[in-house]
Amino acid sequence: AQSVTQPDIHITVSEGASLELRCNYSYGATPYLFWYVQSPGQGLQLLLKYFSGDTLVQGIKGFEAEFKRSQSSFNLRKPSVHWSDAAEYFCAVGAGNAGNMLTFGGGTRLMVKP
Amino acid sequence: GAVVSQHPSWVICKSGTSVKIECRSLDFQATTMFWYRQFPKQSLMLMATSNEGSKATYEQGVEKDKFLINHASLTLSTLTVTSAHPEDSSFYICSKSRGGHNEQFFGPGTRLTVL
């Protein structure tokens, strides 16, 4: 079975600084990978996804992520953080099975200092 | 992106009562929908997979008699929390999938508080 680890529970960055949120997965084949963002009391919004092809994927709101098979990682990055980026971020992996199920990491809470 | 609505967005009920939460796909038909539960400051935990026209598939540890799921149409799945107790208080989120890449689209969630 697949699993996802987000090693950082909380991260605080200054507005305008760069950001990297870590995500490591465990799966025997090439997984389908996702990053979602959740604002307080809201559902999840898809930031970006990786299915195949170019390992650097661009998403909404200026985010990008890079799939590194050798490191089993799919880290999320943003060159310059805005105060509105403060939220909870979830990495998720899909095993490509017919059930379309996702396994979520524990989440990383991002706080942005002015 | 795909659109999912949930109703109600929040509900407060007394212990022992039942509460129904609706999840609607507003743009395309969804043969499969998912129900998640999220406690404060925690990740999403899959409760069950809802399949149109058939019984839901529950995850281990989820009481199917307590959390009744009905997926009677291609655009509507409902979750009924029966005989709710304070420990059932949580944020319930539904989602739907499309295609074969496990991509899911999430509703805005329903906050349930049981007094």
pLDDT digits (tens, 9 = 90+) for A15-36: 999 999 999 999 877 789 999 9
pLDDT band at B27 (very low <50, low <70, confident <90, very high): confident
Using a CB-CB cut-off of 8 Å, the residues of chain A touching B4 are 43
pLDDT band at A99 (very low <50, low <70, confident <90, very high): low
Inter-chain residue contact B105 with A46, CB threshold 8 Å: yes
DSSP states of B55-100 as a string? --EEPTT--TTTEEEEEEETTEEEEEE-S--GGG-EEEEEEEE-SS
Cα A21 from Cα A47, distance rounded (Å): 13
CA A12: distance to chain centroid?
16
A53 Ramachandran zone, left/alpha/beta (phi>0; psi -120 to 50): left
Which residues does chain B have within 8 Å of residue A108's beta carbon, measured at their own beta carbons? Answer: none
Whole-angstrom Cα distance, residue A15 to residue A24?
26
Which residues are CB-contacts of B86 (< 8 A; sequence separation ≥ 6)?
B15, B114, B115
Contact A101 B46 (CB under 8 A): yes
CA distances from B44 to A11, A43, A105, B17, B90 (A): 19, 10, 8, 25, 11
Q: Which residues of A touch B49 (CB under 8 A)?
A: 99, 101
Contact B106 A45 (CB under 8 A): yes
Q: How close does chain A come to B83, measured CA to CA in Å? A: 24
A31-72 pLDDT, tens digit per residue, is 899 999 999 888 899 999 999 889 999 999 999 999 999 999
DSSP structure class, residue A31: P
